[in-house]
Amino acid sequence: MRATINSKLVETGERERLKELLRTRLVECGWRDQLKQHCKALVPDTVKKELLQRIRTFLAQQS
Amino acid sequence: MAEKRSKLLSENNGEYEDALEFVVNDIIDDVTLGLCFEVHRSSKLGTLFLGDTDPQSKLEHAMVDRAGVDVFGNPPAKKQLECICPNCHRNLAASRFAPHLEKCMGMGRNSSRIASRRSQKVLKDRLTGDGMKHDSGDSEDDYNDADWSLYADKRVKRLKKEKRSNSPRRHKNSRLKNGSGYSTGEMYGEVGVKQERADTPDSIGGYEFMTLEEKKTLLMSTCGVISGHTKKMCTRSHKCPQHSDDQRRHVRQFLLGTGVGGEDDDHVDIDTYVDGDSQSLRESLQWEAASNASSPTDSTSTNNSNSGSKRKHGKKSSKKRKNQKGHSHHTSSMGSQPLGMFDLMD
């Protein structure tokens, strides 16, 4: 049953349209930005520090 | 979140609803996955934290919205756009670039004109040789006037005729120079005759070879003033703006004989007044009178000098001649001659 509905949606291309619609709606309501910030927060401090270090040394080499 | 969704959907019953619910979830998962991919990629590339700025630099680089100043806070200042010419590799201002390129590459209208003028000048200088040393700058005017040429070179004349143009610039040049460059001393030199006009004599030579008839014809119908540098007669009408009536009278005196005398009244010698020329002189003077009558707007000085010369003839010539000339003058110059002249003639 599920499969038929799914395949029907895909065949007509309705699934893609639904996806695009969902994307625009989520951006409008800010869900996307919230999620991004959440992700960034999830990055632990240690990882951030290491990244900064790497970049500093790289710049020192360049100039 | 999933419970809320299922609560909404559970209003309607059946497997159908379950399936729908599944589809919805599926689509949402897809979108979420897409977002995760984007974030992961930006973190891998190092662009994840690019948008974050500390509050201090935010104030520094805030967008400027005042009047009279651009978004960065700079007053409007148009810096000069420089470009390098691909031909001559010079640094040029952008506004001057297009005309410079025309000249540099030799492809515009003006630049081809200048090039042809230069080549004509070179040709002409070679032709004139050592005989005539007029300054080369004036030779360009030759090609501008519709002239009787005293030069025989057909080939060169045809070439020049093709390249001649009537631009206002050229007329201005020739107008400036012709008024001042006129001189009788240089009129005869190595001279020839232009072939394009039907009534010019075919032989190479000066004015001496033109019969009196032809000279008179020319002078009656054209301005005839001989340009000082080119030794050519002007073929324009009597009212040609480049030459004054004084010049026209001068050239008629010169061509039709020297018997008419100089400018001052005291030195007129009756013996030099040749009979053969009287007819032609009368005709040329009739022309003068006609032009005077028809162009009353001429300057008073011109009128006075003309009347002066006529008065002179009336005084000093014999009675018979005087009467004849007086009559002819009377009839043709009623309009503009001063009354004093008539008194003297009687």
Predicted complex ipTM: 0.71
Task: Give the domain range for residue A53.
Answer: 2-62
**Residues near B193 by Cβ (< 8 Å), separated by ≥ 6?**
B148, B149, B150, B152, B200, B201, B202, B203, B204, B205, B209, B210
Crossing angle (nearest 10°) for helices A14-29 and B15-45: 60
Q: Which residue did the predictor score with more confidence, B175 or B316?
A: B175
Q: Which residue did the predictor score with more confidence, B27 or B312?
A: B27
CB spacing of A19 vs B39 below 8 angstroms:
no
**Residues near A31 by Cβ (< 8 Å), separated by ≥ 6?**
none
- How far is B250 from B229, CA to CA, in rounded Å? 16
A38: left (phi over 0), alpha (psi -120 to 50) or beta: alpha
Q: Give the pLDDT band (50/70/90) at residue B130.
A: low
Percent of chain A with pLDDT over 90: 22
Using a CB–CB cutoff of 8 Å, tell me whether A22 touches chain B: yes
**Residues near B89 by Cβ (< 8 Å), separated by ≥ 6?**
none
CB spacing of A2 vs B30 below 8 angstroms:
no
Average pLDDT over residues B317-341: 46
Percent of chain B with pLDDT over 70: 47
At B180-195, the pLDDT tens digits run 444 444 444 444 444 4
* Cα–chain center distance at B288: 32
- How far is B193 from B196, CA to CA, in rounded Å? 9
Task: Give whole-number Cα distances, B39 to A25, B32, B103, B265, B295, in Å.
Answer: 19, 11, 59, 111, 95
pLDDT at B315 over 70: no
- How far is B205 from B152, CA to CA, in rounded Å? 8
Q: A6 contacts in B (CB within 8 Å)?
A: 23, 26
pTM of the entire predicted model: 0.30
pLDDT at B29 over 60: yes
Q: Give the pLDDT band (50/70/90) at residue A57.
A: very high
Residue B241 in contact with residue B225, Cβ under 8 Å?
A: no
DSSP 8-state assignment for residue A40 = H
**Residues near B62 by Cβ (< 8 Å), separated by ≥ 6?**
none
- How far is B131 from B174, CA to CA, in rounded Å? 23
**Residues near B49 by Cβ (< 8 Å), separated by ≥ 6?**
A40
Q: A35 contacts in B (CB within 8 Å)?
A: 35
Q: Please classify residue B290 by burial: count the beta carbons closer than 10 Å to its beta carbon, then call 0-12 exposed, 13-18 middle and 19+ buried.
A: middle
Mark B3-40 as b/e (b = at least 16 C-beta within 10 Å). Answer: eeeeeeeeeeeeeeeebebebeeebbeebeeebeeebe
Q: Which of B31, B36, B38 to probe by mutation at the A interface, max A CB count within 10 Å?
A: B31
Q: Give the pLDDT band (50/70/90) at residue A60.
A: very high
CB spacing of A23 vs B31 below 8 angstroms:
yes
Q: Which residue did the predictor score with more confidence, B124 or B194?
A: B124
Q: A32 contacts in B (CB within 8 Å)?
A: 35
Q: Which residue did the predictor score with more confidence, B292 or B189?
A: B292
Q: Please classify residue B1 by burial: count the beta carbons closer than 10 Å to its beta carbon, then call 0-12 exposed, 13-18 middle and 19+ buried.
A: exposed
**Among B268, B258, B240, residue whose Cα is nearest residue B175:** B240
Provide the number of structural domains found in chain A.
Answer: 1
- How far is B201 from B233, CA to CA, in rounded Å? 14
pLDDT the model gives residue B169? 58
First to last CA, chain A: 64
**Residues near B59 by Cβ (< 8 Å), separated by ≥ 6?**
none
Average pLDDT over residues B135-146: 50
Q: Give the pLDDT band (50/70/90) at residue B122.
A: very high
Task: Give whole-number Cα distances, B177 to B141, B194, B231, B240, in Å.
Answer: 8, 22, 14, 15
| 3-class state of residue B134 by DSSP | coil
CB spacing of B27 vs A40 below 8 angstroms:
no
Q: Give the pLDDT band (50/70/90) at residue B346.
A: very low
